[in-house]
Structure 1
Amino acid sequence: MRILILGVFTLFCFSCKDAATNKKEVTQPEKKPNIVLIMADDMGFSDLGNYGSEINTPSLDRLANEGTRLSRFYTNTICAPSRTSLLTGQYPHKAGMGFFNEDFGVKGYEGYINKESLTLGEVFKEGGYSTYMAGKWHVGNERPHWPLQRGFDNFFGFLDGGASYFDTKPLLKGPPSTAFLYEGNDVYNIEKEDFYLTDELTTRAIDFVKNNPEEKPFLLYMAYNSPHWPLHAKPEDIAKYKGKYDAGWDELRKLRFENIKKLGLADEDWNLFKDKLLPAWDSLTAEEKSEWTLKMEVYAAMVDNLDQNIGKLLNYLGTTGQLDNTVVIFLSDNGAENMDVGKMPFTVKRNEGPVGTAGSMESYSKKWAQVSNSPLRSYKSSPYEGGVATPFIIRYPNQKEAGKVMKGGSHVVDIMPTLLDIAGIEYPESYNGVTPNPLVGESFLPLLQGEDWNREQPICFEWFGDRAVWLGDLKGVHQYNKEWELYDLFTDRTESNDIAASQPETIAKMDAIYNEWAKNNGVIAWSEEMGKKTQFRKSPH
C-alpha cells in the first residue's frame, strides 16, 4: 500500500534551532535589488551544462560564469513540500504542508500554507516590493490560499501539480482538474495556435516587469513546470537532439560524471552509483532503444527550451539596465522523475500520439533519470542525494567574485533569510494581526562573500515516513520501517558505503536531533493508517 501511495503521489506531483536573519551589515546598492527566483520542476543534479550535461544551456551557463554555484544545496524530495519551504523559509510541516496539498485534518498536514508561515510575496510586499509570480503554485487549491491572496500582486500560471504544455485538457482521471491556467484569480483560456506553456510563462513574466512602477523594486517568482512530465516539446527543439542519446544511459552517465569532475563538482575518488534494478542499455532490443532515445531527446529539448526562456527574461533585464541590480537564483524543486508515467493507466486519462506531442503522457522514468542525477544515488521522492540535491546558481549585486564553485551545504529554507539579508529587509514580527513563525533558515550570504561560513544547525527532513539528517559532511538516512544508514558525503557523495555500524554514537545523536526537530515542527510519525487516510481522493495533484 505504501509503495502504491508513494507512486501515485509522486505521479500527481507533475511534475533545529530557530535562526534569525543575518544582521551583518553589507554594502547595499542605492536602490534595493530586484529579485528573480527561478525554480525548475523535476530537473536532475547534472541536467545543466554548467553541472556536467551535454544539453545546450548557454543562458544558465552564463549565469553560472557570472555568479556562484553551490555543489551541495538541498530541497525536499517532492514538489509541494519544496515549494512550501522556498516560499516560507519554513520546514513544510510547520507551514501546513507536511505531506502534500492534501488535507489530513490534522495540524501540519492541512494541504495549504498556513497564515503563520509568511510567503515571500507577503514579506517582500511588506518591505516595499512589487511581487509577481508566473508558473506552478501547488501549495493550496482553495481560493483563500491562492497567490493573490498570499501576497503576490500578479499571477499567471496554474494551481495544481502540473499541466499540458500545449493545451488545457484534463491529464488525469477523476474529478475536473484544477490544472488549467489562471490569470490572477480568473481562468485563462488558450487562444493561440502556437501556445507552449514555458514560452507563455516567460512572456507574462516579462509583461509584469515591463509594467512595474519605476520607483519600486520587484520580486519575481518564476515557477516553471519544465522539464516535468508529460514529455512535450516543440519539434524544432527535439530536432537538435536527434541521435544525441543513441549511446544509451550507461555511457551518458559516465560521460556526465567525467564532466562533473572536470567542473570541480565531484571528486575523482567518488563512485558512480549504479541502480542494479535497471537494465543495461545493451540488453535492449533495437526497437526499445529507439523508443527510449526519443524520450530523452524530448526531455533534453524541454530543458533546452527552458534555458532559452530564461535567456529571454535575463536579456530583457539586461537591455533595460536592470540586470546588474537584480538577484537571480536558479534551482530545481527535487531530483529527476522516478516514475514511468505512461504505464500507469489507472491514473492517466489520455496517452495517445507520439512522445513529445500534446496527446502524450509519457515520462522518461528512472532509466534516464539515473543520467539526470549522475553520479548521485536515487531519484525524486527519495531521501538519498539524487532525490534532494539540486543544481544551485546565484548572481547578485556587488558580488565580489564570479564563476566560483563552493561546497555550500544549505537547504531551501535558507533562501528567504539570504534574500532578506541581501535586500536589507527585516522579517515582520507581526503580519495582519498574526504572529509569524520565526524563520528557521540561515543566511548563506557570508559564504558567497568569501567568509569561512558553515551552517550552524543540522538539516532535517521527513516525507512519507522517510527521514534524513545532515550534520556537516555526515548524513543519516532512515527509510520507512528500516534502520538508520550513515554516509560521509565528503568522501562518498554517492552514498555507496554505509558506515552506520562503525559509528553508533553518531547514529544515536542524529536520531535525537531528528526527534527534537520533528517535535518542534509538528511531524507525525508516519503509519500505514495515515496512508489509508488519503484514499487518493481521486484528486489530480
Structure 2
Amino acid sequence: MRILVLGIAMVFFLGCKEGKTEKKEETESLKKPNIVLIMADDMGFSDLGNYGSEINTPSLDRLASEGTRISRFYTNTICAPSRTSLLTGQYPHKAGMGFFNEDFGVPGYEGYLNKESLTLGEVFKTGGYATYMAGKWHVGNEKPHWPLQRGFDNFFGFLDGGASYFDTKPLLKGPPSTAFLYEGNEVYNINKEDFYLTDELTSRAIDFVKDKPEEKPFFLYMAYNSPHWPLHAKPEDIAKYKGKYDAGWDELRKLRFENIKKLGLVNEDWNIFKDKLLPPWDSLSAEEKSEWTLKMEVYAAMVDNLDQNIGKLLNYLGTSGQLDNTVVIFLSDNGAENMDVGKMPFTVKRNEGPVGTAGSMEAYTKNWAQVSNSPLRSYKSSPYEGGVATPFIIRYPGQKEKSNILKGGTHVIDIMPTLLNIAQIDYPETYNGIKVNSLAGESFLPLLQGEDWKREQPICFEWFGDRAVWLGDLKGVSVYPGNTWELYDLAADRTETNNIADSQPETIAKMDAIYNEWANANGVFAWSEEMSKKTPFRKSPH
C-alpha cells in the first residue's frame, strides 16, 4: 500500500512538473519581443565594415553576421523628414514635417508631428510596452511636441538638429538653440569632466532598460547624433586612424568599391560615380592634405566610437538575458554630409580650436562624403542614391537564416508596419479620440522570412523641390529648379550614370502621374522661391 501511494504521488508530482514546464514554455513563446531601433546620423552607405568600410565596426559587423542586411533600403534625403517617417510610418508631409521643424503655416509644413500621425512610442504603448528614447528628436521644438508628450516614458537627448559632443554651449547663430540636453522635460546641465555625448546616450539607454517594469517588454529608440557634425572625437579614438587616410579620397573610394563588390552588395559591372566638381587628391598641397586627412580621421573615430557604444548596449542585453528576445535594427537617417558647415558664417556661432576638439565646428564635406557613399551618386539632401540609400541591418528572434543580404527596395515608412507585424500589435484607428492616418508603408517581414516579396506600392519623395519616384528597379529623379524627370534602371545602373529618360517617355509619364497623385494625397506643395524665403536653410547643389 505504501509503495502504491508513493507511486501515485510520484505520478502526480511529475504531471504537475510537466504541466508547469509546458505552461512556462507556452508563456515564453507568447512573450513579446523587445525592440531596439538604432538610427545613426549622416552616415554614408559604405561606412560600416560589413558594407565595405575600412573603419573598425566589430559590433555592427557581428549584428550583420547574425542578422540580415538589405542592400536597397531608402530613407528621405535629410534628417527631420527621415525621422518623421521612421517615427510615424508616414511620408513626412502627411505627418506635418514636409520641410524641417519650421512652421510654414500650412498643413504638411507645420514643423512638428501632427496628432493624426502616431509615433512608435504611442503605438507600442498601446501594445503594453515600456517606451524609451535617447538622442536626437528634431521633429518638434515646442513642449507639446516633445518625446514625453508623444508616447515615450522617458527621454534623454536634444531637440534640435545638432549638438556638441563635449558641452552644451550654443553651436549656431540666431535664436536660442534647443540643442542643449534634456532629461525628460527638464534641461540637463553637464557636470562630468569626461563627458562625451555618444557614451552618455548609451549609458542612459541602459539605465532606462534596467529600471523598466519587470512585466513589460520595452521599445527603445536610440537616435544617435554620431557621426553628424561637428567633428568631435576622443583623442584615443582619433589615434587609431592616424595615417589611415593618407592615400586620399580618390584611392579610398575605389578601395571601398572593391570591398563592396566582394561582399556582394553591388554588381561587378556598375560604374563608380565620380563627382567632377571635387578636386583630385593629387592636386592638393601637403598642408591641405594634412588638414583633410585629420577631418577623415576624426570622422572615422566617431563611427568607431558609435560602434563601441552599440556594442555596450548589445552586451548589456546579452548578459542580462534579453538579447535573444530582442529585435535590433540599425540604419542611418540619410547619406553622408554634403555641406562645409564650418565655412558658413551666417550659421556658425563658434569655430575655434583644432578639428576634433570641443571648440571646433567642422564637417568633412563632399570631399570625404564621396568615400562614405561609394560607389553611389551625390550626398545628403539629394534625391540621388547617395542621399537616400543607407546601411540597414536587422536581427530578430526566430530568424531562420543568418548573414543574409537581401535586395529589398524598401523604405523607412515600412519599418513601423514591419515591427508591428513582428510584435503582433494592431495599429489603432483612433487615438485619444482622434482618427489617425492609416500607415503608408508595407511590412517587409515576408522578405526577411525568405518569401518572394516585393513592395506593392511605389515609393515617392519630395524635399526642397527635389522629387523622386521608385517603381521597382526604375527610379525617376527631378531636381529643383529644373523639374525635368531623369530615369535610371537601378538593377543595371545603381550609380545613376546613364539617364535613360529619352528612351522611355511612357515610363516618365506614368511616374509623373504617380507623383502628382501622391503629392495631392500627402499635402505636398510645388516648391517655389517664395517657400525658400521662409527658411534660413540653404541647400547646396547636388
User: Corresponding residue for 2:313?
Assistant: 313
Q: Output one character per residue of 1:482-535: Cα deviation in whole Å (capped at 9) or x when no partner.
A: 210000000000000000000000000000000000000000110001111235
Deviations 1:195-243 (A, max 9, x none): 0000000000000000111210000000000000000000000000000
Q: Indicate whether 1:497 and 2:529 are aligned.
A: no
* Superposed displacement of residue 39, structure 1: 0.1
| Counterpart in the other structure of 1:398 | 398
**Equivalence for 2:44:** 44
**Alpha-carbon distance, 1:28 to partner:** 9.4
1:91-128 deviation per Cα after TM superposition (whole angstroms, max 9, x unaligned): 00000000110000001100000000000000000110
Match of 1:282 in 2: 282
1:132-159 alpha-carbon deviations (Å, 9 max, x no partner)? 0000000000000000000000000000
Check conservation: 1:84, 1:95, Cα contact below 8 A. Answer: yes
Matched, 1:485 2:486: yes
Deviates more, 1:78-87 or 1:208-217: 208-217
Q: What letter corresponds to residue 532 of structure 2 in structure 1?
A: G
Amino acid in the other structure paired with 1:127 = G
Give the corresponding residue for 2:458: 458
Matches within 5 A, 1:133-144: 133-144=133-144
- Counterparts of 1:404 and 1:216, CA distance in 2: 31
Cα distance, 1:481 vs. partner?
A: 2.7
Q: Secondary structure at the match of 1:460?
A: strand
Distance 2:43 2:67 in 1: 20
Q: Distance in 2 between matches of 1:465 and 1:284?
A: 35
Amino acid at match of 2:246: D
Would the aligned equivalents of 1:28 and 1:423 in 2 still touch at CA under 8 Å?
no
**Structure 2 residue aligned with 1:294:** 294
Match for residue 340 of structure 1?
A: 340
Which amino acid is 2:369 matched to? Answer: A
1:447 is the counterpart of 2:447: yes
Paired with 1:436 and 1:264, the residues of 2 have a C-alpha distance of 41
Deviations 1:426-459 (Å, cap 9, x if unpaired)?
A: 0001100001100010000000000000000000
| Separation (CA, whole Å) in 1 of partners of 2:396 and 2:537 | 42
Query: SS where residue 295 of structure 1 aligns?
Result: helix
Separation in 2, partners of 1:126, 1:351: 45
Match for residue 411 of structure 2? 411
- Report the equivalent of 1:195: 195
2:488 is paired with a residue of what secondary structure? strand
Distance 2:153 2:430 in 1: 20
Q: Secondary structure at the match of 1:523?
A: coil
Tell me what 1:22 maps to: none
1:216 is aligned to 2:216: yes
1:44 touches 1:372 (CA, 8 Å); kept in 2?
yes
Does 2:163 match 1:163?
yes
Cα distance in 2 for residues equivalent to 1:251 and 1:534:
38
* 1:524 corresponds to 2:525: yes
Partner of residue 359, structure 2: 359
Q: 1:45 Cα deviation (Å)?
A: 0.1
Residue number in structure 2 paired with 1:12: none
Consecutive aligned runs of 4 or more in structure 1 exceeding 3 Å deviation? none
1:425 corresponding residue in structure 2: 425
Bigger shift: residues 49-58 or 212-221: 212-221
Separation in structure 2 between the aligned mates of residue 164 and residue 115 of structure 1, nearest angstrom: 31
- How many residue pairs get aligned? The number is 511
- What is the 5 A alignment of 1:85-234? 85-234=85-234
Paired residue for 1:58?
58
Secondary structure of the 1:457 match is coil
How far apart, CA to CA, are the structure 1 residues paired with 2:224 and 2:45?
17
Secondary structure of 2:59's match? helix
Alpha-carbon distance in 1 for matches of 2:331, 2:457 = 22
Distance 2:364 2:399 in 1: 38
2-structure distance, mates of 1:475, 1:135: 33
What TM-score, normalized by structure 2, do the two folds share? Answer: 0.94
Q: Is 1:509–2:480 an aligned residue pair?
A: no
Partner of 1:386: 386
Please say if residues 29 and 325 of structure 1, whose CA atoms lie closer than 8 Å, have aligned partners that are also in contact: no
Q: Which amino acid aligns with 1:497?
A: N
Cα distance, 1:535–1:244 mapped onto 2, change above 3 Å: closer
Structure 1 position 536, deviation (Å): 5.7
Counterpart contact for 1:95–1:116, Cα < 8 Å: yes
Higher relative contact order (CA 8 A, sep 6+): 1
Distance of 1:71 and 1:335 partners within structure 2:
14
Q: In structure 1, what is the equivalent of residue 372 of structure 2?
A: 372
Q: Is the Cα contact below 8 Å between 1:271 and 1:492 reproduced in 2?
A: yes
CA distance in 2, matches of 1:343, 1:152: 37
In structure 2, C-alpha distance between the alignment counterparts of 1:351 and 1:507, rounded to whole Å: 46
Change in 2 beyond 3 A, CA 1:369/1:29: farther
1:116 maps to amino acid: E
3-state SS in 2 of match to 1:422:
helix
Shift of the alpha carbon at 1:30? 2.2
CA distance in 1, matches of 2:291, 2:107: 45
Q: Which amino acid aligns with 2:65?
A: N
What is aligned with 2:11? Answer: none
Between the aligned partners of 2:519 and 2:80, the Cα distance in structure 1 is 19
Determine if contact 1:77/1:335 at 8 Å carries over to the other structure.
Answer: yes
SS of the equivalent of 1:534 reads coil
Question: What are the ranges of 5 or more consecutive residues in structure 2 without an aligned counterpart?
Answer: 1-26
3-state SS, counterpart of residue 533 of structure 1: coil
Amino acid at match of 2:177: S
Q: Is the 8 A contact 1:28 1:424 kept in 2?
A: no
Q: Give CA deviations for 1:239-262 in whole Å, capped at 9, x if unaligned.
A: 000000000000000000000000
Between the aligned partners of 2:238 and 2:225, the Cα distance in structure 1 is 18
Structure 2 residue matching 1:134: 3-state secondary structure: strand
Q: TM-score, normalised by structure 1?
A: 0.94
Q: Which residue of 2 aligns with 1:11?
A: none
Deviation per CA, 1:298-324: give whole Å up to 9, x if none. 000000000000000000000011000
Which of structures 1 and 2 has the bigger CA Rg?
2
Identity of aligned residues (%): 89
